[in-house]
Structure 1
Amino acid sequence: MARSKESLVFVLDVSPSMHPYLHHVSKATAAVLERKLFNHKNDEVGLVLFGMEETDNDLRREVGEAYEGIVSEPITLVDGELVTKLRALPRGCYAGDYVDAIVVATDMIFKKYGDGKKGNKRICLITDAQSPIKEPMEGMSMMEQVEKIAEKMEDHGVKFDAAILRMNEEKRESGSESTEILENLASRTHGEVTTVESPLCLFGALKPRTVTPTTLYRGDMEMTPGARIKVWVYKKAAQERVPSLKVYSDKAPQSDALATHVVKMDTDYKSSDDPTVSIPKAQRAKGYYYGQQLIPVTPDMELSLKFTADKGVKLLGFTEAANIPRHYYMKEPNLFVPEPGNRKASLAISALARALKQTNMVALVRCVWRQGQRNVVMGVLTPNLSFEDGIADSFYFNIVPFAEDIREFGFASFDDRPASQLPSKQQEEATDLLVQMLDLSPSDSVESLQPEKTSNPVLQRFYHFLYLKSLNPDALVPQLDETLKKVIEPDFSSEHIEKLQGLCSQFTLVNVQKTKNSTKFWKDRIEAAAKDDDAEAKPDVDTSGSGLSFDSFATRQVEEVGSLNPVQDFQTLLARRDSDEWVGKAIQGMKKIIIDLLDSSYKGNTYDKALTCLAALRSGCVMQEESKEFNDFFRVLADKCQGKRLSDFWDAVIQRKLTLISKGEVSDSDVTEEAALAFLTSRTVKEEPTTAEEAEEIDEMDALLGEAV
């Protein structure tokens, strides 16, 4: 029997006590075979039903007595016919003995595959363990009989799994003896006994097949140049994805039994100057864009650019566990275990793990899993202590990001918000009730949606659709099973709905009318007055049929910092997330507005607006960590104010204590806090005599602005 092939025998209890749950058992077992039909079509499956009115099994025919009420289906390649039988399980009439049923299933495997441990052979029992067990043979206790069965199963490499249904309170309090028998049998054969307390858990308890763990790495973990520990690395969890679709051709004649229906795809490169000319491979080269320039890279150069490293795991150091937040973990976790059978490696790993646990530390390691691997991963080892005999201490390994992998997002604090924008006590209590209501692990019941007992509804629906499509080419995509729907749709009771309504009542939405700020700049006042006159002369009615009106222009999306409401436009552009260019565009636009306000100032009439814009620019640059942009502009602005004309503005800047952004505010700033405070005092305004040309220019400006005003 090939290692990649599995033989599975379902042993199903159809006794009267199981009747309320047989439709769940039917769907769950059929779902397992539907997945095997797609992914493991060479697997073999058998079926044993106990608690039946009739009897049909080989042991009954051979022995002549016992093994009554047991019906068996031979072990064959998985096919749709067996799926159909599972979809319509019969109802039994008598209480069945699951020990006899296990013996029948074991006999089927022994006869099919003979002696030896080769291959993956598994028995899966589903029962509520409520039916009585027959007395064993004379001179033997029940546990001795189970030990004998387990010994034979172990000799033949048969694994035993069991799912015990406990879907009501009465059954949860009974059947302890049966549970002990099944757990003993499972432990001897390296199997697992799962207690199923809901139909959803049954889907997760039935594994499509036993996945044989394979090592990701076998070798040394280098502690120091002279100290190494032999370790094996396994994947702890790996996401199972929906299978990808393959291109299929139906052009081959149906009579051709050897047709593969494979579609071969060829790519042809054409010249941009002449699309009829093909470019041969020798004349093609790859390249990278460097700005607007395309840099060609030859295959030899591309090969030399690829980083390669020697296989190995190297310890870099230790740090406190709090320094590695949970959201830094990337990809799937792995498990570091000592080399099996290596006592020194087990002692070394155990000592290291327990020392890190006591000090609340983690280890930082550098890993290259294969020789010549083109990428190096950095990760942390978190101790995983074992408290069971025969299981060694180990480490969980999680990949952590480099600086280029981290994404930081700055959010404004609630500390400086007014009371009207902070949650009230009633709102906090309503959200507390929401958290308590959706608690998956309340103290008085079993945890819901446990990962090891929750099946992926997307995969189940996908494989069920393929099965239906194989029976009927015109089959439609089925609805998600009601049992699996509980994974994605919470089941709310009337009490829950009442609490949700209370939550909604605490967060009502109010339509707030935006009020326009009064303009301060004389030019803006003139433009606003002219628009008001036009609005009175021409009503806001769209007669062209184009859908344009004054209101549609007033509510347009902000694309630049305007002179009417520069601070509001600046903040709106910083808040936009549809492109990375808006932050730079907002900063440059605000700089231009400040310079324009100062250049067009008459006797300081624009200083207040310029100061407000400067303060907003500084606050925005701190939030976006653009300290260099602001500091460079602020130095230029200080040089510009070194004269009599803008001295009053610089005095206002000093009074407002607006200065350079320091390291205390933005970590990448090159200005210390002391230097930022000293910058204002060091920039004293020089009193320069007013020349005749300047006096004449000022007089002309006074006259011009006086006439305009």
Structure 2
Amino acid sequence: MARNKETLILLVDIGPSMHPHLDYAARAISALVQRKIVHNKHDEVGLVFFGANDTDNELSSELGGYEDIVVLRPIAVVSEELAQAVDQFSKEYGTSDFMDAMVVAMDLIVKKCAAGSKGNKRIYLITDGESPVKEPEEGTKSEQVELLRNQLQMHNIILDAVVIRLKGENGALESKASQENEFLLRSFADGTMGDLVLVESYTTLLGAVKSRSVSPTTLYRGDLELTPNMSIKVWVYKKVSSERMPTLRIYSDKAPLLDTTATHEVKFDIEYKSSVDLDVSIAPEQRIKAYKYGPQYVPISSKEEEALKFRTEKGLKVVGFTDKSNVPRHYFMKETNVFVPELRNTRSTLAISCLARAMEAEGKVAIVRCVWRAGQANVALGVLTPCLGSDDSVADCFYFNNIPFSEDLREFAFASFKDRPSTQQPTRLQQEAADALVQMMDLVPYPGQEFLMPERTVNPVLQRFYSFLHLKSVNPEAAVPPLDKALQIIIQPEERFIQKVDFMLQTFKEQFQLIRSTQTEKGGRKFWKDRLGENEAALPGEDLLQIEDGKPLTFEFLTGKKVEQVGSLNPVEDFEALLARRDSDQWVTKAIKGMKKIITDLLNSAYNGNTYEKAVTCLIALRRGCVIQEPCKSSLFPLLLFFFTFIYVLFWRMEPTFHPCLHKSQII
């Protein structure tokens, strides 16, 4: 048996308590078989029912007992016949004793696989666990469980069990038999390195029945170099790997149907022709790569391209350590890898554990330069984040994530909503409605309870593809079927879930009302006259835009507008206009502060003294205004001190005609 080949027994409970679940159990088993046909076509699969009306198995014929167990299909290479056989399960009314069924399944595997054969041997059990296990004729039930578990371990058979426990909205009480069976199945699964999954929905059932257990392969084995004189032996694995769609290829039907050696593959040959003479072919040695550089193409030979390649040596080097806050999560690129100690290396395990715990205590992460294999074209830069084991049986490790170089960063600075005016801020009721909606639609309402568990949620795209592929193989004219109800829950919210949050949705809708904006015709022109109100006509000879108070917008109106601050265009005129205003006492103070700011800005922004003249003029105007208003002279002292310090050296380079403007009598 090949190392990656698997011998699998599908052990399905079809007793009375399983009748409501058989349709979805058949879909889950069918999906498993369909994937094996595509990805693991050499695997061997058998199908056994227990809880049936009849008895059909070798152990019953040889030894007696083992009733209500039917071997529907002996172990054989997975095929379309098996896929059609598991499309629908019959509902029968026998006793459902999973212990006897496990013995029958183990006997089939032992007889099929020779001693010492390689490959995985697995029993996949699907039941609801509601039927009690009968008492043995000899010994106790605990002794029988221990004996069967030892037999499974001796033959390297793994038991994976799926127990269906659907719960309504108010939950459901577990029977005594189901609790006992769950305990027994958990002991079997733990003893054989298997898995026990409690299914609470049909969606989870589809994801729990997995076609294969993918053995992890190392991405890197070697040293993690901390310093030139200190390194740690590590192994690197991929934490998550996405399952891709099967590759669709072009096949030929020209070969005879009965020819078993035909591959039906279509091969392509590429031939290069001369642009001058299309009948002349270009030999490979006459072709050369060229790279576009501006309007021209620059030829680069293979030798030159090889010489330009960056030569790298395999290895991992720690560049340094930094705070976790310096590496935000949105910098992470690609998938996550896991750094674990070298297998059976105690020194490596201790070193990784000490380093991870020290980094966790200090709140640090490590920046690592990575070359996974010799001659790799690109050098990766990543961050190591410590991950401490949940208990003593789980070793400490590191999570690795690729981070970008400076050329890869795309920074987009968005303005904060806090800086927006109050009219663009959400109201208290709007914020409360949004918070309540998010809280009600949380998929993890309580710790440890999750509606859509990632590890138990099947990919709806792949699931539907395999189902349609099987349907198409049976009937080439078959149309695409509608989406399965169990898959609709994954891509659309469940109806009962929507009903719970319906009130919150209505409240949110009321707080955020959408108002349709009036659409203007694109490309059209509008003149001043067209912008007047529909019921308002312009006076004869006065084609003017109206403002809010009804007055026409004229040049005199714009020029006659009162000054409210000192501008940089005409600061002296604005300053004098503010001092002349008598409608409030605040204008004097505002004028002096504004002129001070203008003078300071003119001095700070000066280039070779180009704004000195304007600054001096503003300073003289400020002095005169202060004399008229009789403010405290000490208010000008800081400004004068800054002014003289700033231009002490550069000011006297100005034209001599400007020097007298700083006469003592004018400033002091």
Cα distance between partner residues in 1 of 2:194 and 2:26: 22
Q: Partner amino acid for 1:51?
A: G
Q: Is the 8 A contact 2:609 2:650 kept in 1?
A: no
Q: Partner amino acid for 1:240?
A: E
SS of the equivalent of 1:415 reads helix
* Structure 2 match to 1:325: 328
Identical counterparts, % of pairs: 48
Cα distance between partner residues in 1 of 2:305 and 2:652: 57
* Structure 2 match to 1:341: 344
Cα distance between partner residues in 2 of 1:292 and 1:204: 55
1:132 correspondence with 2:135? no
1:147 correspondence with 2:143? no
Cα distance between partner residues in 2 of 1:194 and 1:312: 40
Structure 1 residues not aligned, in runs of 5+: 516-523, 534-602, 609-633, 656-673, 690-709
Q: CA RMSD in A?
A: 3.6
Cα distance between partner residues in 2 of 1:415 and 1:270: 64
* Structure 2 match to 1:157: 156
For the structure 1 residues 106 and 642, does the alpha-carbon distance in structure 2 shift closer, same or farther, using more than 3 Å as the test? same
For the structure 1 residues 95 and 429, does the alpha-carbon distance in structure 2 shift closer, same or farther, using more than 3 Å as the test? farther
Q: Partner amino acid for 1:39?
A: H
1:170 correspondence with 2:164? no
* Structure 2 match to 1:509: 514
* Structure 1 match to 2:78: 78
Q: Partner amino acid for 2:271?
A: D
Alignment of 1:161-560 (within 5 A): 161-168=160-167, 169-170=171-172, 172=174, 175-254=178-257, 256-443=259-446, 446-492=449-495, 493-512=498-517
Number of aligned pairs? 556
Deviations 1:420-476 (Å, cap 9, x if unpaired)?
211111211121122112100112883011111001000001111111111111122
Per-residue deviation, 1:271: 3.8
For the structure 1 residues 103 and 643, does the alpha-carbon distance in structure 2 shift closer, same or farther, using more than 3 Å as the test? closer
For the structure 1 residues 177 and 389, does the alpha-carbon distance in structure 2 shift closer, same or farther, using more than 3 Å as the test? farther
Normalising by structure 2, we get a TM-score of: 0.76
More moved, 26-35 vs 414-423: 414-423
Cα distance between partner residues in 2 of 1:682 and 1:185: 92
* Structure 2 match to 1:42: 42
Cα distance between partner residues in 2 of 1:108 and 1:474: 38
Cα distance between partner residues in 1 of 2:353 and 2:117: 32
Deviations 1:564-598 (Å, cap 9, x if unpaired)?
xxxxxxxxxxxxxxxxxxxxxxxxxxxxxxxxxxx
* Structure 2 match to 1:68: 67
Q: Is the 8 A contact 1:116 1:155 kept in 2?
A: no
Q: Is the 8 A contact 2:132 2:181 kept in 1?
A: no
SS of the equivalent of 1:56 reads coil
Structure 2 residues not aligned, in runs of 5+: 533-568, 575-601, 623-641, 658-668
Q: Partner amino acid for 2:143?
A: E
Per-residue deviation, 1:363: 2.0
Q: Partner amino acid for 1:67?
A: Y
SS of the equivalent of 2:101 reads helix
Deviations 1:472-501 (Å, cap 9, x if unpaired)?
111222222110111111114333233222
Q: Partner amino acid for 1:80?
A: E
SS of the equivalent of 1:153 reads helix
Cα distance between partner residues in 1 of 2:422 and 2:190: 61
Per-residue deviation, 1:42: 1.0
* Structure 1 match to 2:585: none
For the structure 1 residues 306 and 147, does the alpha-carbon distance in structure 2 shift closer, same or farther, using more than 3 Å as the test? farther
1:101 correspondence with 2:101? yes
Per-residue deviation, 1:77: 1.1
Cα distance between partner residues in 2 of 1:11 and 1:471: 25
SS of the equivalent of 2:59 reads helix
Per-residue deviation, 1:103: 0.9
Q: Rg bigger for which structure?
A: 2
Cα distance between partner residues in 2 of 1:308 and 1:208: 41
Cα distance between partner residues in 1 of 2:653 and 2:289: 58
Cα distance between partner residues in 1 of 2:256 and 2:117: 44
Q: Is the 8 A contact 1:46 1:76 kept in 2?
A: yes
For the structure 1 residues 116 and 643, does the alpha-carbon distance in structure 2 shift closer, same or farther, using more than 3 Å as the test? closer
Q: Is the 8 A contact 1:643 1:686 kept in 2?
A: no
SS of the equivalent of 1:60 reads helix
Q: Partner amino acid for 1:461?
A: R
Q: Is the 8 A contact 1:118 1:157 kept in 2?
A: no
Q: Partner amino acid for 1:325?
A: P
Q: Is the 8 A contact 2:130 2:175 kept in 1?
A: no
* Structure 2 match to 1:548: none
Cα distance between partner residues in 2 of 1:443 and 1:53: 43
Normalising by structure 1, we get a TM-score of: 0.72
* Structure 1 match to 2:29: 29
Cα distance between partner residues in 2 of 1:482 and 1:441: 22
